[in-house]
């Protein structure tokens, strides 16, 4: 589009980088500025909670040389501190100011801080950046004791990494079970059993009463846990501050429409920081935090900026590894009213989640290695098709999902 002289993207994670590259792939030849608040080249975040046994390494999304070859200007170690919607400028932390014709916010989310009696604990670590990961894994030596507050994905992936290093590990979860928000109970129980087999200690349904200056945790029931390192993995909060200060609409993140437009016609948002209405789920407003969603939304928002008007309809997808087990989730299992189980073998389980009308709205799978990948992918295609598959066929492992897909109707 010849009238767009400059597009500024705030955030150089998976979403922001994909947006920048898609603009070039779709033949935009104006200026692109990519604002990176960290000093490193853009890097992948999933490996930070799944490091190799000999340490954590920075895995680049895209090197600065590749970005430069695409004529994308990368501003490292520069934070966007203010948006002036009227002047259409972004002020940076080093005092620079950038004009934009269109602005994309891919500012992501940050870990929720742990509090005791309403006060944040700076001695409780979080895991979000490469700097966080490097400092943390330097402390995880054999024989030391790591306590993880929170039994969600980050906490459990970190527990597995710690056990590989022969670090004594305790996970404290205040809810009555692990992975309560995102994973069905049958699969969560199998993941818990695998962690227990690896030597992880659990305190489930327990709240923390206090943490002293020597990192001794006292639970509400009086149990005392001495720790060398404490990490909180209790969820995340979207980075909305710069958008809120600019007067953009906020609703569980930066509120956007199904094309990723904000309440300002020249500002867009995508990735972990935004919530959007999803057409597969009755235009329910959702916010996704996953590697693939960040990629897909980055590409989609770039095309919206360039004038494409297709709404975003991608089926949510997420994965998490726990030792030799791989978990994959497609769609939104929480939207299901009925669950159908397909057991492929002793270690491989598929759950299909259907709404009250029998439409497939989610699928969850757990198995060794990539055992479940193909079936979850086929289930994802059924979800996208808004199919109403026969429940007996879903439950029968002798009937292939491919054959169900070929005959499915919306």
For residue 293, the Cα-to-chain-centroid distance in whole angstroms is 8
Per-residue confidence (pLDDT) for residue 141, from 0 to 100? 93
Confirm if 223 and 210 have CB atoms less than 8 A apart. Answer: no
Q: Where are the alpha helices (DSSP H) in 328-389?
A: 373-384
Per-residue confidence (pLDDT) for residue 53, from 0 to 100? 59
The CATH homologous superfamily of the domain defined by 115-232: FAD/NAD(P)-binding domain (3.50.50.60)
Per-residue confidence (pLDDT) for residue 112, from 0 to 100? 93
Please say whether the dihedral angle defined by the alpha carbons of residues 194, 195, 201 and 202, taken in this order, is positive or negative: negative
Confirm if 219 and 173 have CB atoms less than 8 A apart. Answer: no
- Its pTM stands at 0.95
Per-residue confidence (pLDDT) for residue 259, from 0 to 100? 97
Where are the domain boundaries for CATH 3.30.390.30 in the chain?
A: 324-407
Per-residue confidence (pLDDT) for residue 209, from 0 to 100? 94
Place of tokens 């948006």: 83
- Nearest partner of 203 among 235, 227, 228, judged by Cα: 227
Tell me the C-alpha distance between 168 and 142, whole Å.
8
Where are the domain boundaries for CATH 3.50.50.60 in the chain?
A: 6-110+236-305, 115-232
Tens-level pLDDT at each residue, the chain (410 residues): 558 999 999 999 999 999 999 999 999 999 999 999 999 999 999 989 877 656 778 889 988 889 999 999 999 999 999 999 999 999 999 999 999 999 999 999 999 999 887 788 888 999 999 999 999 999 999 999 999 999 999 999 999 999 999 999 999 999 999 998 789 999 999 999 999 999 999 999 999 999 999 999 999 999 999 999 999 999 999 999 999 999 999 999 999 999 999 999 999 999 999 999 999 999 999 999 999 999 999 999 999 999 999 999 999 999 999 999 999 999 999 999 999 999 988 889 999 999 999 999 999 999 998 899 999 999 999 999 999 999 999 999 999 999 999 988 76
The CATH homologous superfamily of the domain defined by 6-110+236-305: FAD/NAD(P)-binding domain (3.50.50.60)
Q: What are the DSSP calls for 58-110, one per residue?
A: --BSS-HHHHHHTTEEEEET--EEEEETTTTEEEETTS-EEE-SEEEE---EE
Helix (H) or strand (E) holding 118: none
Buried b (16+ CB within 10 A) or exposed e, 138-168: eebeeebbbbbbbbbbbbbbbbbbbbebebb
Confirm if 389 and 355 have CB atoms less than 8 A apart. Answer: no
Helix 14-25 to helix 291-305 angle (10° resolution) is: 40
Q: How many residues would you count in the chain? A: 410
Largest CA distance in the chain: 67
Tell me the C-alpha distance between 89 and 236, whole Å.
28
Determine the CATH number of domain 324-407. Answer: 3.30.390.30
Tell me the C-alpha distance between 137 and 234, whole Å.
19
Per-residue confidence (pLDDT) for residue 57, from 0 to 100? 82
Q: Give the three-state DSSP class for 312.
A: coil
- Strand-pair partners of 230: 147
Question: What secondary structure, in 3-state letters, does 225-276 show?
Answer: EECCEEEECCCEEECCHHHHHCCCCECCCEECCCCCECCCCCEEECHHHEEE
Confirm if 127 and 230 have CB atoms less than 8 A apart. Answer: no
């Amino acid at each position: 589009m010849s009238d767009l002289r400059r597009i500024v993207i705030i955030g150089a994670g998976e979403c922001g980088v994909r947006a920048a590259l898609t603009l070039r792939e779709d033949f935009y030849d104006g200026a692109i500025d990519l604002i990176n608040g960290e000093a490193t080249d853009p890097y992948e975040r999933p490996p930070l909670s799944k490091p190799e046994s000999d340490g954590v390494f920075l895995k680049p999304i895209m090197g600065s040389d590749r970005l430069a070859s695409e004529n994308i200007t990368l501003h490292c170690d520069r934070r966007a501190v203010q948006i002036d919607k009227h002047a259409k400028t972004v002020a940076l932390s080093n005092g620079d100011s950038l004009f934009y014709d269109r602005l994309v916010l891919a500012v992501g989310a940050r870990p929720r801080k742990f509090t005791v009696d309403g006060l944040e604990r700076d001695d409780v670590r979080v895991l979000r950046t490469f700097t966080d990961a490097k400092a943390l894994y330097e402390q995880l030596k054999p024989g030391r004791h790591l306590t993880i507050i929170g039994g969600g994905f980050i906490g459990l992936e970190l527990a597995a990494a710690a056990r590989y290093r022969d670090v004594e590990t305790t996970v404290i979860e205040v809810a009555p079970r692990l992975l309560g928000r995102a994973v069905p109970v049958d699969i969560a129980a199998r993941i818990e059993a695998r962690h227990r087999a690896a030597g992880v200690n659990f305190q489930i349904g327990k709240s923390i009463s206090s943490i002293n200056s020597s990192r001794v945790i006292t639970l509400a029931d009086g149990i005392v846990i001495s720790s060398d390192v404490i990490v909180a993995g209790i969820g995340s909060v979207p980075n909305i501050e710069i958008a809120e200060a600019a007067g953009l609409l906020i609703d569980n993140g930066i509120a956007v429409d199904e094309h990723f437009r904000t309440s300002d016609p020249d500002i867009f948002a995508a990735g972990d920081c935004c919530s959007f209405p999803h057409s597969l789920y009755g235009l329910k407003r959702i916010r996704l935090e996953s590697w693939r969603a960040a990629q897909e939304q980055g590409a989609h928002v770039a095309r919206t900026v360039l004038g494409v008007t297709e709404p975003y309809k991608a089926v949510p997808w997420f994965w998490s590894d726990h030792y030799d087990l791989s978990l994959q989730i497609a769609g939104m299992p929480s939207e299901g009213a009925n669950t159908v189980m397909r057991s492929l073998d002793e270690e491989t389980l598929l759950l299909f989640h259907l709404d009250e009308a029998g439409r497939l709205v989610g699928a969850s799978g757990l198995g060794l290695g990539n055992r479940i990948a193909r079936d979850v992918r086929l289930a994802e295609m059924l979800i996208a098709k808004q199919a109403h598959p026969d429940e007996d066929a879903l439950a029968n492992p002798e009937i292939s999902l491919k054959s169900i897909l070929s005959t499915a109707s919306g």
